[in-house]
Chains A and B, each alone.
Chain A
Amino acid sequence: MKVTIDGIPVDLPAGTSALDAVFHAGRDVPYFCAHPYLSPVGACRMCLVEAGTPRKGKDGAFELDEATGQPKIFWMPKPMASCTLQATEGMHIRTAKTSDVVAKAQAGMMEFTLLNHPLDCPTCDKGGACELQDRAFEYGYGASRYGFDRRHADKHYALSDFIILDQERCIHCKRCVRYFEEVPGQEVLDFIERGGHTFIDTEEGGLPVGFQGNIADICPVGALLDNVARFRGRNWEYDHTPTTCTLCPVGCSITVDARNGRLERVVAGEHRDVNEVWICDAGRFGHVFATEERLTVPLVRVGGELREATWDQAIEAMRQGFSGHGSNVGLYLSADSTLEEGAALVALAEAVGTPSRDHWPRYPHTPMSTATLTDVATADALVVLGADLGEEAPVVELRILEALRGGLLPAEFAHGTAIADLRLTERPARTPEKLAVIGRESRLWRHAGLRVPAEGPDLLARLARPDTPDLQAALRLLEEAEKPVLILGADVLNGADTAFSAALSGLAGRVGAKVLVIPAGPNSRGLGGLNLVPGAGGLPYGRLGEVGAAFLSRLDPAAQGLPGRARGFTVVHDTHLTATAQGADVVLPAVTNYEKRGTTVNLEGRLLPLAQAPLRAGEGADLIRALVAVAEALGVRSPVRGLRGAQAWLEARYGLRLAELPAGGRLQPPRPPQDAATGLAHAPQLWKPRMLPRPERRGSGVPGREARAERWELPLAPAPQPGGDD
């Protein structure tokens, strides 16, 4: 389909909106209500363009312009909103750049939009990253002719602990309302009143925790703001670090905004194959631990008490502590560690010769996933088995809901994702009958056409040979669909073994379903494939108490109700002084995953890169460097002494090339994880207590003058005489 924008011819697929045609041609048109992942509504009227089409005469041929011999363009009598206008064959479009009518229309519309918008940009957290600010600068008149008082409404009105609303700033683009209706399927926010009195509110006593934070990202103005990051910094002051979230196995793309060494805000990044542009509330708001009460120096137990120490002192303490344990050392790490860190741990374990190595959480056996998140979003039948997605992998829930509203993947153009996808409609029709949920009651139940309350590890067997009408219906759903996807969660996977895998692939093969297995930990799928499980005679994490000496990286067994120590010497490597760390002999400061470079593997088997945000971590070290210290204490030389070394080790051992991973990661058939008993059941929990916002703890990193005034007396004696006197 040929379309001409400001004289620039472009070739576009049918069904493209005029707005995307304009951007595809490299031109610009302002817009507020359109959003790449929401339905176009044409409410803000900013994206006006002039459009004209050729017309076919009675003979079926285009009517020609007598002067040029080209098809004559019949211009529409008034400017059209390009977000809701479908580009058609031969259409001509004029933007503000070539049309004075459009330029005036847009400037006039901007004047209307700004009519009641308060002039509090200096105090508004959106300032500097505000679509309205930018567009007003680019397309506005520069001054308003409105000579009346602006509308006054509720300012700083908390919709929840996380989201704060300023009704004066709202420009009624309806993105947030449409977001809740179309994406998480919750009708919790809507316009109240009509006409000039319209404002946004909820009657539900607050927004539901889950996916509410996304509205702060999509609000084109500062009406809906992240309350956790409120007034923490201006947008141009943040260091933006695009990285991957490692709170759950989905691996959403995020951007970490840090200022002055503190993590102040997390915003969603776009990854079309993983999270699109949505992230969960835990990923967005649960970052406060990264700047609160961090361990910044090693601690060594002296006389029964943990004392601050240098790394050298810590290494010395470890040398003494480990001596006598020989190779009876357990090495355990958290399953959100990177592949590189896992490699370093395996390499050290091999150098020491200990079979006791493990990561947690993990399942004794994890069947292989064959489905990607895109498969989930485009499936025509979905059965969720024993999973509480809200705790295990929240964004999978959004992708399931995407499938239920039609499974339309966003179109892509030269400028990126289609901004106004005309296939998306307001209040989309959902097809709950495509979804069956078998398991304990969860948030997803509301959207499922078939709900089967059940629990226990035998759910898969019961689904394969259904004994109740509901289960029969679920199986029939899988059988009758063309692209079914089966999603498995903790409730069935805790008891998984090879027989389970065989049964699963049997069922999947029989009904032609793809399988999405939700791993226990954020990177347990990747770490499991590194042979990071107890070897012959080795002790798993769950039997920590039986190991002679142990090194634990960012694990807190004491908080899980497990013994927090090995039999003998215990070293803990963590970001905070956890319950386990408090009982350890040596505590090494760690860094969070926001401050690491490395690679993680998500539930699809996609390798995703982590980047390092500039956070203040004191002497904190990632696991690779911490293990170098441990190796030194153990008197062995590990082959992995840095990130590059770890990547080289991974390439040499498994052929994994991680060095030149693209920004969006790479889908790579993963190595099957090794099996090993855990002795523990994994109970997924997304929000850890330390992630909850605690505003009272969020002080400034800058000492006040009072502290400095104490030091007024200089060490120089006598005090120098300031010159001059009356």
Chain B
Amino acid sequence: MTYFADKHPLLADIFSRYPDSPQGRRSALMPLLREVQNAEGFVSEARMREIADLCGTTATEVRSVMSFYSTYHTLPTGRYHLQVCSTLMCALAGSDELWDHLVSVLDVQPGDVSADGRFSVQKVECLGSCGTAPVVQLGDEGYYENVTRQKCDRLIAALRQDAPPPPDNPVPVTVREDGRQMTAAGERVGASIHDRKPLPAGGDR
């Protein structure tokens, strides 16, 4: 049974985002790959062929595109695929130790799945969380940020209970409700945009 056989509304929605042309059809390739991966954890060769037919291309091209991007997998991953950012900003916050800790505690190497089928790990490049480093991404779910040793252990324990905590998204900004920023000294300086009036829509010429 093909994956998309009974998902016509989903397909229609994805294809509707792109022009109705051979090139536009091809654009659906990445969303379709993402759909399959989110459902099955990886993209098998049969799925590649299926996506190729849907996009009007060949399995070679699908594999080519897929292998270009680092978040698609051709091999099954664990139920919890933990991606650790290893780029400089996280490394300055200890992501190397975090990685070593994860690998040894979970007893799993990149490319493998732990014995209980729960965990797989991957070192990834900058996840855009440099202000809240270090960061661990769980599959295609979300980030855990400011992962200290204790937080890491809590996270692993929760995952072992199959109770993943909701991803957190701390916002490292200092603009307050009044629209003013606060300096490190706790001082509110500058003005608030709330006090400015938008220009009238009728134009000001």
**When A and B assemble into the complex, do they touch directly, with CB atoms less than 8 Å apart?**
yes
Q: Which of A190-198, A366-374, A385-393, A403-411 contacts B (4 or more CB under 8 A)?
A: A190-198
Which residues of chain B (31-51) have a CB below 8 Å from chain A?
45, 48
Given known contacts A191-B64, A193-B67, A194-B67, is B57 in contact with A203 (CB within 8 Å)?
A: no
| Nearest B residue (CB) for A195 | B68
A197 CB, min distance to chain B CBs, angstroms: 9
Binary flags per residue of B48-67, CB closer than 8 Å to A gives 1, else 0: 10000000011111111001
Indicate if the CB atoms of B68 and A203 lie closer than 8 Å. no
B87 CB, min distance to chain A CBs, angstroms: 16
A210 CB, min distance to chain B CBs, angstroms: 14
Indicate if the CB atoms of A188 and B63 lie closer than 8 Å. no
Say whether A131 faces chain B, with CB atoms less than 8 Å apart: no
B113 CB, min distance to chain A CBs, angstroms: 21
B193 CB, min distance to chain A CBs, angstroms: 42
Identify which of B57, B67, B68 contacts A187 (C-beta below 8 A). Answer: B57
B91 CB, min distance to chain A CBs, angstroms: 20
B145 CB, min distance to chain A CBs, angstroms: 28
Which residues of chain A (661-715) have a CB below 8 Å from chain B?
none
The answer for the CA separation of A193 and B63 in the assembled complex, in Å, is: 9
The answer for the CA separation of A203 and B49 in the assembled complex, in Å, is: 9
How many residues belonging to A are interface residues under a CB distance threshold of 8 Å? Answer: 13
The answer for the CA separation of A187 and B64 in the assembled complex, in Å, is: 11
Indicate if the CB atoms of B67 and A203 lie closer than 8 Å. no
Question: With a CB–CB cut-off of 8 A, which chain A residues contact B60?
Answer: 187-190, 201-204
Binary flags per residue of B157-185, CB closer than 8 Å to A gives 1, else 0: 00000000000000000000000000000
Question: With a CB–CB cut-off of 8 A, which chain A residues contact B62?
Answer: 203
Identify which of A188, A192, A202, A204 contacts B67 (C-beta below 8 A). Answer: A192
How many residues belonging to B are interface residues under a CB distance threshold of 8 Å? Answer: 12
A475 CB, min distance to chain B CBs, angstroms: 26
A446 CB, min distance to chain B CBs, angstroms: 10
Indicate if the CB atoms of B68 and A193 lie closer than 8 Å. yes
Question: With a CB–CB cut-off of 8 A, which chain A residues contact B64?
Answer: 190-192
Binary flags per residue of A237-259, CB closer than 8 Å to B gives 1, else 0: 00000000000000000000000
Question: With a CB–CB cut-off of 8 A, which chain B residues contact A193?
Answer: 67-68
| Nearest A residue (CB) for B66 | A192
B75 CB, min distance to chain A CBs, angstroms: 14
Indicate if the CB atoms of A204 and B68 lie closer than 8 Å. no
Which residues of chain A (195-229) have a CB below 8 Å from chain B?
201-204
Question: With a CB–CB cut-off of 8 A, which chain B residues contact A191?
Answer: 64, 68
The answer for the CA separation of A243 and B186 in the assembled complex, in Å, is: 87
The answer for the CA separation of A453 and B57 in the assembled complex, in Å, is: 23
The answer for the CA separation of A334 and B77 in the assembled complex, in Å, is: 63
Binary flags per residue of B135-169, CB closer than 8 Å to A gives 1, else 0: 00000000000000000000000000000000000
B141 CB, min distance to chain A CBs, angstroms: 25
The answer for the CA separation of A186 and B57 in the assembled complex, in Å, is: 9
Indicate if the CB atoms of B63 and A192 lie closer than 8 Å. yes
A201 CB, min distance to chain B CBs, angstroms: 7
A27 CB, min distance to chain B CBs, angstroms: 37
The answer for the CA separation of A203 and B67 in the assembled complex, in Å, is: 12
Question: With a CB–CB cut-off of 8 A, which chain A residues contact B67?
Answer: 192-194
Given known contacts A193-B68, A194-B68, is B58 in contact with A204 (CB within 8 Å)?
A: yes
Question: With a CB–CB cut-off of 8 A, which chain A residues contact B61?
Answer: 187, 190
Question: With a CB–CB cut-off of 8 A, which chain A residues contact B57?
Answer: 187
Indicate if the CB atoms of B63 and A204 lie closer than 8 Å. no
Question: With a CB–CB cut-off of 8 A, which chain A residues contact B45?
Answer: 203
A405 CB, min distance to chain B CBs, angstroms: 13
Binary flags per residue of A137-168, CB closer than 8 Å to B gives 1, else 0: 00000000000000000000000000000000
Question: With a CB–CB cut-off of 8 A, which chain B residues contact A204?
Answer: 58-60
The answer for the CA separation of A203 and B48 in the assembled complex, in Å, is: 9
Question: With a CB–CB cut-off of 8 A, which chain A residues contact B63?
Answer: 190, 192, 201, 203
Binary flags per residue of B103-123, CB closer than 8 Å to A gives 1, else 0: 000000000000000000000
| Nearest A residue (CB) for B58 | A187
The answer for the CA separation of A194 and B58 in the assembled complex, in Å, is: 19
B171 CB, min distance to chain A CBs, angstroms: 33
B56 CB, min distance to chain A CBs, angstroms: 10
Which residues of chain A (171-193) have a CB below 8 Å from chain B?
186-193
The answer for the CA separation of A204 and B64 in the assembled complex, in Å, is: 12
B71 CB, min distance to chain A CBs, angstroms: 13
Which residues of chain B (49-103) have a CB below 8 Å from chain A?
57-64, 67-68
Binary flags per residue of A591-627, CB closer than 8 Å to B gives 1, else 0: 0000000000000000000000000000000000000
The answer for the CA separation of A186 and B59 in the assembled complex, in Å, is: 12
| Nearest A residue (CB) for B61 | A187
| Nearest B residue (CB) for A189 | B60
The answer for the CA separation of A704 and B188 in the assembled complex, in Å, is: 97
| Nearest B residue (CB) for A191 | B64
| Nearest B residue (CB) for A193 | B67
A211 CB, min distance to chain B CBs, angstroms: 16
Interface centre among A192, A194, A203, A204 (most CB of B within 10 A): A203
Which residues of chain A (45-67) have a CB below 8 Å from chain B?
none
The answer for the CA separation of A186 and B48 in the assembled complex, in Å, is: 17
The answer for the CA separation of A192 and B60 in the assembled complex, in Å, is: 9
| Nearest B residue (CB) for A181 | B61
The answer for the CA separation of A657 and B144 in the assembled complex, in Å, is: 84
The answer for the CA separation of A194 and B63 in the assembled complex, in Å, is: 12
Question: With a CB–CB cut-off of 8 A, which chain B residues contact A201?
Answer: 60, 63
| Nearest B residue (CB) for A205 | B59
The answer for the CA separation of A187 and B55 in the assembled complex, in Å, is: 13
B187 CB, min distance to chain A CBs, angstroms: 46
Question: With a CB–CB cut-off of 8 A, which chain A residues contact B58?
Answer: 186-188, 203-204
The answer for the CA separation of A190 and B58 in the assembled complex, in Å, is: 10
Question: With a CB–CB cut-off of 8 A, which chain B residues contact A194?
Answer: 67-68
Interface centre among B45, B58, B60 (most CB of A within 10 A): B60
The answer for the CA separation of A204 and B48 in the assembled complex, in Å, is: 11
* 21 A-B contact pairs sorted by A residue (CB < 8 Å): A187-B57, A187-B58, A187-B60, A188-B58, A188-B60, A190-B60, A190-B64, A191-B64, A193-B67, A193-B68, A194-B68, A201-B60, A202-B60, A203-B48, A203-B59, A203-B60, A203-B62, A203-B63, A204-B58, A204-B59, A204-B60
Question: Which residues does A use to contact B, with CB under 8 Å?
Answer: 186-194, 201-204
Q: Which 9 A-B pairs have the closest CB atoms?
A: A190-B64, A203-B59, A203-B60, A187-B58, A192-B67, A203-B63, A193-B67, A194-B68, A187-B61
Q: A189-B60, A192-B64 are in contact. List 9 more A-B contacts (CB 8 A).
A: A187-B61, A188-B60, A190-B60, A190-B61, A191-B68, A192-B67, A202-B60, A203-B45, A204-B59
